[in-house]
Amino acid sequence: MKNYKNLLEQSNLKTTPQRLAILKELDKHGHASIEEIYENIKEMFPSISLATIYKNISALKDENVISEICLHQKPKFEIQKEPHAHFICKKCGKVEDVPFSEMMSKELEKKYPDSKKELYIYGICSECKKK
């Protein structure tokens, strides 16, 4: 996903360099916390504050450009995608997308239309298993 400007134009949000940078970071890392986003873009925008990141994340979330992944630790965010589950490593906290099967997606939509579907799978990632 590279057309961040198009994503913003489809919402009610103005296209700003800060919002484009936030979307680029989320696309680059897949899932990131507000603090991780801040650390990664403050070199590009030395005068940006953590409050500005919070405000923009909130606006992007309200417009369904991004979604929040509610973890036991700090929440992470991702660019909105098709329904999918998240695998969360209990050791390192890494988050990976796990696609729903087509059958599962259809069944969930049939049984629970117009609802947000979130599925979290907890375990140990392959990198932590190697250690």
**Residue 118 is part of which domain span?**
84-130
User: Domain check: are 12 and 70 in the same one?
Assistant: yes
**Residue 1 confidence class, pLDDT cut points 50, 70, 90:** very low
User: Domain check: are 75 and 90 in the same one?
Assistant: no
Question: 79, 97, 119 — which closes off a domain?
Answer: 79
Type of residue at 104 = M
Neighbouring C-alpha atoms within 13 Å toward the C-beta of 26? 27
User: Domain check: are 72 and 13 in the same one?
Assistant: yes
Q: What is the largest CA-CA distance in the chain?
A: 48
pLDDT tens digit string along 7-36? 898 898 999 999 999 999 999 998 999 999
Helix, strand or coil for residue 89? strand
The pTM (predicted TM-score) of the whole model is: 0.69
Q: Report the DSSP pairing between strands 120-123 and 95-99.
A: unpaired
Q: Count structural domains, the chain.
A: 2
Q: How far is Cα 84 from Cα 52, in angstroms, rounded to an integer? A: 29
Q: How far is Cα 50 from Cα 72, in angstroms, rounded to an integer? A: 21
User: Domain check: are 24 and 73 in the same one?
Assistant: yes
Instruction: Name the average pLDDT for the chain.
Output: 88
Q: Residue 114's pLDDT is what? A: 85
pLDDT tens digit string along 69-99? 877 667 888 888 888 888 988 888 888 999 8
CATH number, domain of 59, equals 1.10.10.10
User: Domain check: are 74 and 111 in the same one?
Assistant: no
Ramachandran quadrant class, 93 (left: phi over 0; alpha: psi -120 to 50; beta: rest): left
User: Domain check: are 75 and 27 in the same one?
Assistant: yes
CATH number, domain of 120, equals 3.30.1490.190
Burial label, 65 (beta-carbon count in 10 A; 0-12, 13-18, 19+): buried
